[in-house]
Amino acid sequence: MKQKIRIGCGAGFSGDRLEPALILAEKGELDYLVLECLAERTIGLAQKRKMANPELGYDPLLERRITSLLPILVKNKVKLISNMGAANPLAAIHKIQEIALKLDLRIKIAAVTGDDVFSKIDKKSEALENGIRLENNGDLLAANAYLGVEGILEGLKSEAQIIITGRVADPSLFLAPMIHELGWNIEDFELLGKGTVIGHLMECAGQITGGYFADPIKKPVNKMEILGHPIATVSIDGSAIISKVNGTGGIINLQTIKEQLLYEVINPHAYYTPDVSADFTNVYLEDLGENQVKINGGGGSQKPTNLKVSVAYKAFFLGEGEISYAGTGALERSKLAGEIIEKRLKGIVDEIRIDYLGINSMHNGQFKNESVPYEIRLRIAAKAKSKADAERVGEEVEALYTNGPAGGGGVRKYVNEVVGIVSTMIDRNKIELKITTLNA
């Protein structure tokens, strides 16, 4: 049992920068590095990749992250916990084993599986978001339950240095090493609530060190091009100090901590995770200066009996086309182009949206903009049932070169199959956790 541990967060989403994790592993004096790389849509897309190739389905940046990180992790004896397994944790650990063998590094790797509950959900039940039966939202792709700390704890007991999961609740990635190293009882919901507060603060990485927080006028943040990611020094009593590596960019103060504390929290009295119903209402913050803030308080009560499930389905094909107009009358010519496309696509697509970027694309015309723009970027987007119909959107925009208003240029066109996400619940007793370990 330790009195304190240091946990760093090297990634807050799948496309996060690679360098902050390397800096944390090399200079952060860490016990654990967490890479939080999974979101609802991310795992749906990962399931699509797995369907196309059973050897894929893990995070697209896993190979690059692990290849650069592994030598530093081994050298500094830092353990890694990550949900980069996405839809295929088993394939992910085999890939990591392959990388370790190439680098001639000895390491034990564990995969946590059991979150894939596609065969166990009631497809006739109603989605929480819209009240529509799951099976009526569209062709279902996948269903992944939000797991808690249990699988990660088993991986840590096996003495694995790298633990890869699929869908695990974000704070649980941080809470598990606290429980394991600090000797917390998994039924001590007060401590688990405190740890969940810390995990929630850490889960989005650069958001707590000035990323997404920054505003050059009201909230300036220095050296964002080398934004440092956070470290939590967690004590056995559930308090923590949030900091970052000296010399990195960004800022940690009461403002950044408060914004992240409230991020995505609907009910601060009961923030539900698979591990605990956390209470954020008695959290106390103390600015220690020099990019350090101390966290005290928080608590929790009994964990929920049901787990949330993220259900992915084939929603629609999205067709997009863009074209620019500049000079006198740019907005009027853009509107004429939009009217042309709207008439041309009538009866072909299901829903169409016309945006004049810089005028109404963010608020959909709800705010009056009285300025006269010199240039306009016209964007046409439409939902369609088939890829062929979606392709018509870009084709029609491109045809405006010679069949539309004067001076159009810079056409771009895109087609994407959109994965939709809805949610349901599942009895946690239906989950079948499994831990798979490999040695390199």
* Predicted confidence (pLDDT) per residue in 332-360, tens digit: 999 999 999 999 999 999 999 999 988 87
Q: Cα–Cα distance between 326 and 334 in angstroms, integer?
A: 9
Tokens 């006739």 map to which residue?
124
Nearest CA to 429 out of 273, 303, 307, 275 is that of: 307
pLDDT of residue 373: 83
Cβ(170)–Cβ(201) below 8 Å: no
pLDDT tens column, 216-271: 999 999 999 999 999 999 999 999 999 999 999 999 999 999 999 999 999 999 99
Stated pTM of the model: 0.94
Domain ranges of the chain: 4-310+424-439, 315-423
What pLDDT shows up at residue 367?
60
The answer, yes or no, to whether residue 368 has pLDDT greater than 70, is no
Pick the CATH number of 315-423 from 3.30.428.10, 3.40.50.1000, 3.30.70.100, 3.20.20.150: 3.30.70.100
Q: Are 410 and 324 in contact (CB under 8 A)?
A: yes
**Quick check: 181 and 1 in contact, CB under 8 A?**
yes
| Residue written as token pair 């919901």 | 189
225 CB neighbour count, 10 Å cutoff: 6
Q: pLDDT tens, 23-80? A: 999 999 999 999 999 988 888 889 889 989 999 999 999 999 999 999 999 999 999 9
Report CA torsion sign: 163, 164, 168, 173.
Answer: positive
